[in-house]
Amino acid sequence: MYVNITLLIQIINFSITYHLLNKLIFSPIIISLKKKKTVEDNFINSLKKEEHLLLSKEKRLHQDLIDFQRKIQKKYVPLTKKSIEVQFDITYERDEKEVKNLTKKIKDLLVKEVPRVD
C-alpha cells in the first residue's frame, strides 16, 4: 500500500498544532474557568451559611418575642373596665329665650375675635 508523504506531514502538523493549542490556549482557559467555578462555589456556600445564620437569628428573635409577650400577659393582667355611675341631683332646664341669647353672644364673639379674610 502506497502512503502519500503529504498525508503523513499533515498528520504530524495537525498533531503538533493540537498539542500546542492545548498547552498554550485551552489549558489556561480551562484552569481559569475552574478557578472561577471554585470562587463561585465558595461564594454560594458563604451565602448559604449567612442565610442559615440569619434564619436562625430570626427564629430566635421570634421566639424571644413570643416569650416576652407571654411573660407580659402573665405579669400584667388586663384591668376590667368598670363604669362609674354618678347620680346628679341637679337638673337644668333651658328656655328658648336663653338659647337665643347664648347663640347671639357666641356669634358676636366669633365675629369680634376671628379676623376677617379679605
Q: What is the pLDDT of residues 55-100, one digit of tens each?
A: 999 999 999 999 998 888 887 766 666 666 766 666 666 788 888 8
Q: Is residue 88 part of a domain?
A: no
- The domain total for the chain is 1
pLDDT attached to residue 92: 60
Q: Three cell numbers at 39?
A: 470562587
Residue 90 vs residues 44, 47, 58, 87, 98: alpha-carbon distances, Å? 81, 76, 62, 9, 18
* Per-residue pLDDT at 117 exceeds 60: no
Q: pLDDT grade, residue 101 (50/70/90)? A: confident
Give me the domain span that covers residue 58: 5-79
Residue 9 vs residues 15, 22, 37, 48: alpha-carbon distances, Å? 10, 20, 40, 56
Q: Is residue 117 part of a domain?
A: no
Report the pLDDT averaged over residues 36-57. Answer: 96
Q: Is residue 68 part of a domain?
A: yes
